[in-house]
Structure 1
Amino acid sequence: MAGTLQESTGSETPDVAVTGGSGFVGGHLVTALSGAGRSVTIVDLADPSPELAALPGVRHVRADVRDYGETLLALRGADTVFHLAGNASGSRSVEFPRFDFQINGLGACNVGNACVELGVRRLVCLSSAIVYGVPQRVPMTEEHPTRPFLPYGASKLSGELALRSLYDAIGLPVVIGRSFVVYGPGEDPRSAGGEVSQFLRWQLNEMPIPLVGDVDRKTRDFVHVSDVCAALITLADAGAAGEVYNIGSGREVSMRDLADAVAKATGRPARLQPDASSLEDSFRLVADISKLRSLGFRPGVTLESGLASLADVLGPFPELPSTTAIFRRERVPQP
């Protein structure tokens, strides 16, 4: 799948730019594109890992997508742009909503406007299922109402709206992918809030697995990072401009089911330690991926195989997760 990214005519070596290419999903996407023989520019304030920087055809441009001038210069020469830069933490958005809106909302607008000015052939933006808010029906299609309950969801939706308005008004060739709960090797345990990595890290440290919420009512659609990258490349090749596509596995997994799968992957029972004092996120978050499937995409990594390979990568006693879910912060007392 990663080798099918189309090249435009009229350019001998069209470049691909990946904003946020030093990050978790971005790093995997850069690796896939480099492996397919593409020239890739990582546009990121953070330096890529030495392994990523050493890949053939990969270069790094330090730029802040909140700055339009920097963004415009960084994307020059790109035929296809994948926009992944931004804040990916809902908890951080609660603590720092202004930062969150600047990098997710303004950043997306800057990237889109730069792509118009530069005549980019295709822009693929990675958004999030968090824009839907609390699910009203399951599985969720792309027509599900959008009512985010976190600043993160609102900022991602504002970025989507900016890009789609540029499509309507100017013809920006943008396609948007809304990812569900992504997991895989390379997540930072200090910021990653997905249950797969967290459950596995607690389990590999031979400790109980803490869970906030209902073990059966709280369900998620977990999608491996390699499938997310394949989906993004599919959208670059075959997605319809101005359209939104869910990116998930299409499989519903409860927290109890996940604990059982973690136990199987590690060869020993998992001890769930549920805390039902907060049930705010005990809802069913599951993707209908029919629209993405119509483009030829098929998820390639099952949860069971993804867990087994991730357990091998992490090894015994990996760093424990240290991020916590924050849905609202304490109000500052008014004088």
Structure 2
Amino acid sequence: MTDNGNGNGNDNLDIGPGTRTLVTGGRGFVGSHLVDDLVARGATVTVLDVTAPDGTLPAGVGYRPVDLRDPASVRAALVPADVVFHLAGNASGTISVDHPRFDFETNAEGTFNLFEALLDTGVRRVVYLSSAMVYGRPQTHPIAETHPLNPFLPYAASKLSGEHVAASMVESYGLPAVVGRAFTIYGPREDPRRAGGEVSQYLRWHLNGLPIPVVGDPDAKTRDFSHVGDLVAGLVRMAERGAVGECYNLGSGTETSMRELVTLIGDVTGTPARMECDLSTLEDSYRHVADVSRLRALGHRPRVPLAEGIAALAALLGARPELPAVPTVFQRDTPAGASAAA
């Protein structure tokens, strides 16, 4: 790694009072939880987001409007920071299929614009949130960070492009960046009009008294479900102890099939869950579970068991929550279903 002369090596951090943090996408699902965590640690937090906060940010949190696709907008939005968490971008595989240019400009070019603007700012750590979708269809189980990278959705390709941007900035300029590859995230504040994760979608259908539509083989299709609180803890741990230029899987390390998830939802809610399977779409009927040993070596331990997370989310959603509205799209003009991105 090339040192840029600003002390941006593998120095350890402790995020707490006095730490200046910047969160892109801080108004989103993951970003809002991360902002809450940083505030609780006493850090100074500034959110960069394309959407105005409308009074929803915690007291004392700063806000700067930004369009990541515009380099001038990015440069104007930056404030001095010790740690930058880059979470902003398109998170929908379906949107990436329907609007691939928007997806690439937001995720890939937006990441380049941000990282270029951060050069020579003295930032001590940059954490880029990527996706486990960069692995494509798994060849081994569990999936380690050394697994081949074969994205099959534009979304996964754009996130992988962001990883390549990060790696090149580390090697050529000494930008102290680390990468986290998120598996299937769930928890409070998911937007049913945008989020495609199975836990929230399945639970919403069930709480409305409807059968759960499962796209694919309910036994062959497995996922690693990670509570958003555990994901945030992993991101902070990466910022504090992660090695510059390294990638880390952000998951639970526990594999759950769609059938097991449906059964668990019924057990947790006290009402047996019904399932309707669509076996005509099998593109994502594969095993998908993280090898989390690299993140565990930094001291990170997931704390929210899936049953506990589902119970808390069910209590929060209540009876008759808004139904999911995110289709599964693997190719343009293909049938809709439950989830396109991990």
TM-score of the superposition, structure 2-length normalised? Answer: 0.92
Deviation of 1:79 after TM superposition, in Å, equals: 1.2
Match of residue 238 from structure 2: 235
Q: Is the 8 A contact 2:26 2:48 kept in 1?
A: yes
Once the two structures are superposed, the pairs formed by residues 303-314 of structure 1 within 5 Å of their partners are 303-314=306-317
Deviation of 1:119 after TM superposition, in Å, equals: 1.9
Match of residue 330 from structure 2: 327
Query: Which amino acid in structure 2 is aligned with residue 6 of structure 1?
Result: D
Distance 1:183 1:49, change over 3 A: farther
Aligned length: 323
Q: Which residue of 254, 258, 261 corresponds with 1:255?
A: 258
Q: Is the 8 A contact 1:5 1:234 kept in 2?
A: no
Distance 1:50 1:5, change over 3 A: farther
Q: Deviations over 1:18-50 (max 9, x none)?
A: 000010000000011011111110100112363
Unaligned runs of at least 5 residues, structure 2:
1-11, 335-342
Q: Which residue of 199, 204, 207 corresponds with 2:202?
A: 199
Match of residue 114 from structure 2: 111
Measure the CA separation in 2 of the matches of 1:69 and 1:94. 28
Q: Deviations over 1:93-134 (max 9, x none)?
A: 000000000010011111111221312111000000000000
Q: Is the 8 A contact 2:13 2:241 kept in 1?
A: no
Measure the CA separation in 2 of the matches of 1:147 and 1:69. 33
Measure the CA separation in 2 of the matches of 1:167 and 1:72. 20
Measured on the aligned residues, the alpha-carbon RMSD in Å equals 1.5
1:21 is aligned to 2:26: yes
Unaligned runs of at least 5 residues, structure 1:
none
Query: Which amino acid in structure 2 is aligned with residue 41 of structure 1?
Result: T
Q: Deviations over 1:151-172 (max 9, x none)?
A: 0000000010011101011111
Measure the CA separation in 1 of the matches of 2:229 and 2:255. 19
Q: Is the 8 A contact 1:37 1:57 kept in 2?
A: no
Q: Is the 8 A contact 2:211 2:274 kept in 1?
A: yes
Distance 1:203 1:158, change over 3 A: same
Match of residue 266 from structure 1: 269
Measure the CA separation in 1 of the matches of 2:276 and 2:185. 23
1:6 is aligned to 2:9: no
Match of residue 179 from structure 2: 176
Q: Is the 8 A contact 1:251 1:286 kept in 2?
A: yes
Match of residue 32 from structure 1: 37
Measure the CA separation in 1 of the matches of 2:170 and 2:221. 36
Match of residue 80 from structure 2: 77
Match of residue 101 from structure 2: 98
Measure the CA separation in 2 of the matches of 1:181 and 1:252. 11
Measure the CA separation in 2 of the matches of 1:330 and 1:231. 37
Measure the CA separation in 2 of the matches of 1:282 and 1:46. 35
1:41 is aligned to 2:46: yes
Match of residue 63 from structure 1: 66
Where 2:249 maps in the other structure, the secondary structure is strand
Measure the CA separation in 2 of the matches of 1:133 and 1:312. 34
Q: Is the 8 A contact 1:76 1:118 kept in 2?
A: no
Measure the CA separation in 2 of the matches of 1:307 and 1:48. 28
Q: Is the 8 A contact 1:5 1:233 kept in 2?
A: no
Identity level (%): 54
Query: Comparing 243-252 with 259-268, which one deviates more in the overlay?
Result: 259-268
Where 2:52 maps in the other structure, the secondary structure is coil
